[in-house]
């Protein structure tokens, strides 16, 4: 323990306002640990080994002592309480029954020792699993636990505490079978004092926030019990016979040590081997329970735990406790939160509880049998009712109806079937709720056609006219998010809606852009295969753009994909270009049989106008090159050469004299998206010298290119020496920039984001 923790501990010891509530809470926790561990010993050693239950209490009590002591000293949460738990004990009870049955013909002590060895193995395995979880950071998995599941788990803990309190006070389980007995006058009289104590604590602690409320009420309860015995003339023996005291611990039982070294030779390993599958479930159940309880502590205490440290600490105490015969333990939520609920956040709570448990283990626990049963049961009932109020009543305002129903379902399942079953039901229901909610989120970010979205490839006026008229034949769906069976089905239904005859003209091409998809699962692949079948039946070619390589690979392995039915292209711009080319080819093939003379005449006029416009632009560009001649630096770029790299400063403007090039933007995954195509008359670069941002993309020469470079310094000189030429240059540069901004290109948004 660090020096700072020792200083805090010494401060708590020397400060009455912190010492008194810590000692009172520690006393109650210690008594609870003793009662719980005695009951777990009876649970494990039942049936053919029931005669060893009293002796086996030393194993569970020693585990409670050693685990509580070390966790109280080392945990990051001051009031953490770690004890051997009930879930592993329930599994060990089955294992012990199996071993006892298989060794029925042998000396009963042999069966007792063999069960002890099985208990030790399960604890050691749990300790190793905790160690591995801490080493590899698996404890953070519980961060993904849905909050309603944690709330339902805490509510279930409250109900289990209520059940336990009834068993402590009336010695009858709170169940349908035991209900007639509980409603008898005798049992109701036993329950009434504890229920009164619970009600008093709830009202007093809700009315006053004082650390002395809890010990004051407990002291008053002890005085009232002593006064009751005095007025009725009963002795402690009479009260014990009437069931008013804890009792149940023989005076002559030596609780620890339980086994000796000579007992190791009695272990029958062949009886343990058939029980290994059952034993292997204990570490898994314990790990799940530990993570859930840690999440519950964080939620209740409104602070984060260092899970790696807590896992290491729980690993150490299980390895130590297992070596001494204790069964698997982990942090106990209800006992851990008793200190904060009663106004104490001191390590003295755990230390006091550990010392009391240790005294019962080594010195004999008979004196504890004289403690009033209604006080212990009333305290447990108080904790249970307070927890239920927090998570069933007060938390109603924090959750939606569906989430609150989830909490109630978990609580009901825990009450009827058990803790792990309740958590399992909660996780399943939370998963279903998550899938339903996530499936309602839009998976298609944009649903349009090629009349509103076009490639960056420069097209002639006739081609543009054709594409405007036939662009509705290309349907474009831009997909986003994570694709699983829910969202993939939504996408599949969106595609199916466009393939219905009553939805309008059937598209000849369908583009699915995956550039904003985060991931997918195998169920999404099956949805895509069914979607491809529907598209093939509708004679619609599917073009995937920016498809994750793993998705493309799985689709190709799942079914043969014909090139004329399915295409995979690296980005949306190339997908649009491919579909536009297909539309133009189809129009060219059908133009020979087209009898619409007016349409051909209009197309011819558009072509002539486009030719004249391009000639005029070419003349302006050539005239500008001639005027800029002394200020230009001429360069040559071979096909495949990188003219400008993304992010580099260009220090001026490149003017393309001849050849073809393209500007590509590469993201963090090195996936390239075409921003625009460049040809004779195009410009690229920066006007102002010393700009901080580099080129938006890399310029690659597709063919041999002839370039002229106008540096920023030369442009600055040109403004002084030949303002008219500089103005003409700025005019042409601005006109190209406006044309790019006005173009409905797919890559325009990408280019803007990259810039």
- Give, in degrees to the nearest 5, the angle at Cα 716 between 712 and 721: 140
Regarding whether 464 and 424 lie in a shared domain, the answer is no
- The Cα–Cα gap between 444 and 267 comes to 65
* Chain centre to alpha carbon of residue 81: 27
Residues of the chain with pLDDT under 50: 594-595, 597, 745-755
On whether residue 555 sits in a domain, the answer given is yes
On whether residue 602 sits in a domain, the answer given is no
Long-range Cβ contact pairs of 306-312 (< 8 A, separation 24 or more): 306/76, 307/134, 307/139, 307/140, 307/142, 308/134, 308/137, 308/139, 309/76, 309/134, 310/75, 310/76, 310/77, 310/80, 310/139, 311/130, 311/131, 311/133, 311/134, 311/139, 312/130, 312/131, 312/134
Strands (E), 422-488: 444-449, 474-483
On whether residue 65 sits in a domain, the answer given is yes
Regarding whether 427 and 450 lie in a shared domain, the answer is no
In this structure, are residues 316 and 127 in contact, taking their beta carbons and an 8 Å threshold? yes
Domain that holds residue 195: 3-433
* ω into 354 cis (within 30 of 0): no
In this structure, are residues 582 and 509 in contact, taking their beta carbons and an 8 Å threshold? yes
Last residue of a domain, one of 433, 458, 476: 433
On whether residue 643 sits in a domain, the answer given is yes
What pTM was computed for the model?
A: 0.55
In this structure, are residues 486 and 435 in contact, taking their beta carbons and an 8 Å threshold? yes
pLDDT at 227: 92
Q: What is the CATH number of the domain that holds 510?
A: 3.30.750.24
Regarding whether 621 and 701 lie in a shared domain, the answer is yes
Regarding whether 112 and 42 lie in a shared domain, the answer is yes
- The Cα–Cα gap between 8 and 187 comes to 45
- The Cα–Cα gap between 87 and 40 comes to 10
Regarding whether 180 and 160 lie in a shared domain, the answer is yes
In this structure, are residues 680 and 657 in contact, taking their beta carbons and an 8 Å threshold? yes
On whether residue 607 sits in a domain, the answer given is no
Regarding whether 521 and 486 lie in a shared domain, the answer is yes
On whether residue 603 sits in a domain, the answer given is no
The closest alpha carbon to 486, from 444, 419, 441, belongs to 441
- The Cα–Cα gap between 65 and 365 comes to 13
502 phi and psi angles, rounded to 5 deg: -80, 0
In this structure, are residues 519 and 502 in contact, taking their beta carbons and an 8 Å threshold? no
pLDDT tens column, 463-499: 887 888 888 899 999 998 888 877 888 888 889 889 8
pLDDT at 745: 44
- The Cα–Cα gap between 535 and 499 comes to 7
Task: Show the 3-state SS of 395-424.
Answer: HHHHCCHHHHHHHHHHHHHHHHCCHHHHHH
On whether residue 403 sits in a domain, the answer given is yes
Regarding whether 190 and 60 lie in a shared domain, the answer is yes
pLDDT at 612: 63
On whether residue 601 sits in a domain, the answer given is no
| Terminal C-alpha separation, the chain | 54
The closest alpha carbon to 729, from 747, 708, 744, belongs to 708
- The Cα–Cα gap between 109 and 649 comes to 85
Residues in CB range of 73: below 8 A, 6 or more apart: 1, 5, 347, 350, 351
In this structure, are residues 71 and 397 in contact, taking their beta carbons and an 8 Å threshold? no
Regarding whether 316 and 194 lie in a shared domain, the answer is yes
The DSSP line for 687-727 is SSTT-SS--SSEEEESS-EEEEEEEHHHHHHHHHH-HHHHH
- The Cα–Cα gap between 112 and 49 comes to 7
Regarding whether 453 and 410 lie in a shared domain, the answer is no
Instruction: Provide the b/e sequence for 358-397 (b: ≥16 CB within 10 Å).
Output: bbbbbebbeebbebbbbbbbbbbbbbbbbbbebbbeebee
Regarding whether 371 and 512 lie in a shared domain, the answer is no
- For 534: left if phi > 0, alpha if psi spans -120 to 50, otherwise beta; the answer is alpha
- The Cα–Cα gap between 499 and 727 comes to 53
Regarding whether 140 and 213 lie in a shared domain, the answer is yes
Last residue of a domain, one of 375, 406, 433: 433
- The Cα–Cα gap between 608 and 164 comes to 93
In this structure, are residues 134 and 319 in contact, taking their beta carbons and an 8 Å threshold? no
- The Cα–Cα gap between 314 and 210 comes to 33
pLDDT at 753: 36
Last residue of a domain, one of 399, 433, 467: 433
pLDDT at 403: 85
Q: What is the CATH number of the domain that holds 634?
A: 2.60.120.10
Residue 713 Cα distances to 182, 631, 653, 687, 727, angstroms: 97, 10, 11, 10, 16
pLDDT at 479: 92
Regarding whether 708 and 673 lie in a shared domain, the answer is yes
- The Cα–Cα gap between 199 and 41 comes to 32
Helix, strand and coil percent figures for the chain, each rounded to 5: 65, 10, 25
* Chain centre to alpha carbon of residue 111: 44
In this structure, are residues 255 and 361 in contact, taking their beta carbons and an 8 Å threshold? yes
Number of domains making up the chain: 3
Residue 683's SS3 state is strand
In this structure, are residues 659 and 679 in contact, taking their beta carbons and an 8 Å threshold? yes
Please report, rounded to a whole number, the percentage of residues in the chain having pLDDT higher than 70: 87
pLDDT at 137: 81
* Chain centre to alpha carbon of residue 27: 38
In this structure, are residues 168 and 193 in contact, taking their beta carbons and an 8 Å threshold? no
């Amino acid at each position: 323990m660090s020096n700072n923790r020792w200083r805090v501990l010494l401060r708590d010891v020397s400060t009455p306002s912190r010492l008194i509530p810590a000692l009172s809470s520690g006393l109650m926790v210690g008594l609870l640990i003793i009662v719980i561990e005695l009951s777990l010993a009876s649970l494990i050693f039942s049936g053919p080994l029931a005669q060893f239950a009293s002796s086996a209490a030393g194993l569970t009590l020693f585990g409670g002592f050693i685990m509580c002591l070390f966790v109280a000293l080392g945990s990051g949460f001051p009031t953490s309480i770690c004890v051997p738990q009930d879930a592993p004990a329930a599994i060990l009870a089955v294992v012990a029954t199996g071993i006892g049955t298989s060794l029925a013909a042998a000396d009963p002590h042999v069966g007792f020792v063999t069960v002890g060895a099985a208990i030790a193995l399960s604890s050691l395995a749990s300790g190793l699993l905790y160690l591995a979880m801490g080493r590899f950071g698996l404890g953070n998995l519980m961060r993904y636990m849905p909050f309603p599941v944690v709330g339902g788990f805490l509510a279930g803990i409250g109900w289990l505490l209520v059940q336990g309190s009834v068993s402590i006070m009336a010695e009858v389980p709170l169940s349908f079978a035991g209900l007639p007995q509980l409603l008898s006058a005798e049992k109701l009289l036993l329950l009434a004092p504890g229920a009164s104590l619970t009600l008093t604590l709830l009202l007093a602690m809700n009315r006053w926030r004082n650390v002395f409320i809890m010990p004051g009420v407990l002291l008053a309860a002890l005085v009232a019990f002593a006064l009751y015995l005095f007025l009725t003339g009963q002795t402690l023996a009479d009260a014990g016979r009437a069931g008013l005291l804890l009792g149940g611990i023989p005076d002559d039982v030596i609780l620890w040590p339980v086994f000796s070294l000579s007992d190791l030779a009695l272990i029958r390993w062949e009886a343990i081997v058939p029980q290994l599958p059952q034993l292997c479930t204990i570490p898994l159940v314990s790990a799940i329970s530990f993570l859930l309880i840690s999440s519950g502590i964080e939620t209740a205490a409104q602070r984060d735990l260092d899970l790696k440290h807590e896992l290491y600490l729980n690993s150490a105490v299980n390895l130590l406790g297992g070596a001494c015969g204790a069964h698997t333990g982990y942090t106990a939520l209800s006992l851990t939160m008793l200190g904060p609920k009663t106004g104490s956040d001191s390590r003295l709570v755990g230390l006091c509880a550990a010392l009391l448990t240790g005294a019962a283990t080594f010195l004999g626990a008979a004196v504890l049998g004289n403690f009033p049963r209604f006080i212990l049961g009333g305290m447990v009932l108080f904790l249970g009712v307070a927890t239920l109020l927090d998570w069933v009543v007060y938390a109603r305002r924090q959750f939606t109806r569906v989430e609150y129903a989830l909490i109630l379902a978990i609580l009901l399942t825990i009450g009827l079937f058990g803790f792990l079953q309740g958590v399992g039901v909660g996780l399943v229901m939370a998963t279903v709720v998550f899938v339903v909610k996530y499936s309602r989120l839009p998976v298609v970010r944009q649903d349009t056609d090629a009349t509103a979205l076009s490639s960056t490839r420069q097209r002639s006026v006739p081609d543009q006219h054709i594409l405007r008229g036939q662009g509705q034949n290309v349907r474009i769906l831009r997909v986003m998010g994570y694709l699983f069976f829910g969202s993939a089905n939504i996408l599949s239904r969106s595609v199916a809606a466009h393939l219905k005859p009553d939805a309008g003209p059937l598209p000849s091409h369908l583009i699915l852009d995956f550039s904003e998809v985060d991931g997918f699962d195998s169920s999404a692949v099956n949805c895509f295969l069914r979607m491809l079948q529907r598209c093939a039946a509708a004679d619609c070619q599917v073009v995937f753009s920016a498809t994750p390589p793993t998705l493309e690979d799985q689709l190709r392995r799942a079914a043969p994909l014909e090139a004329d039915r399915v295409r995979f292209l690296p980005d949306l711009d190339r997908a649009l270009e491919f579909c536009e080319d297909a539309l133009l080819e189809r129009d060219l093939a059908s133009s020979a049989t087209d009898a619409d003379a007016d349409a051909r005449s209009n197309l011819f006029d558009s072509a002539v106008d486009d030719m004249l416009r391009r000639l005029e632009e070419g003349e302006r560009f050539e005239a500008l090159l001639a005027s800029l001649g002394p200020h230009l630096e001429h360069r040559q770029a071979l096909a495949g050469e990188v003219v400008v790299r993304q992010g580099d400063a260009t220090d001026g403007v490149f003017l393309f004299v001849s050849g073809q090039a393209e500007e590509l933007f590469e993201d963090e995954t090195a996936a390239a998206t075409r921003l625009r195509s460049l040809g004779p008359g195009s410009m690229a670069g920066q006007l102002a010298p010393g700009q901080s941002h580099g080129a938006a993309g890399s310029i690659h020469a597709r063919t041999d290119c002839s370039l002229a470079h106008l540096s920023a310094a030369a442009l600055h000189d040109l403004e002084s020496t030949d303002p008219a030429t500089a103005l003409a240059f700025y005019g042409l540069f601005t006109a190209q920039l406006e044309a790019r901004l006005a173009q409905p290109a797919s890559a325009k948004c990408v280019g803007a984001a990259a810039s």
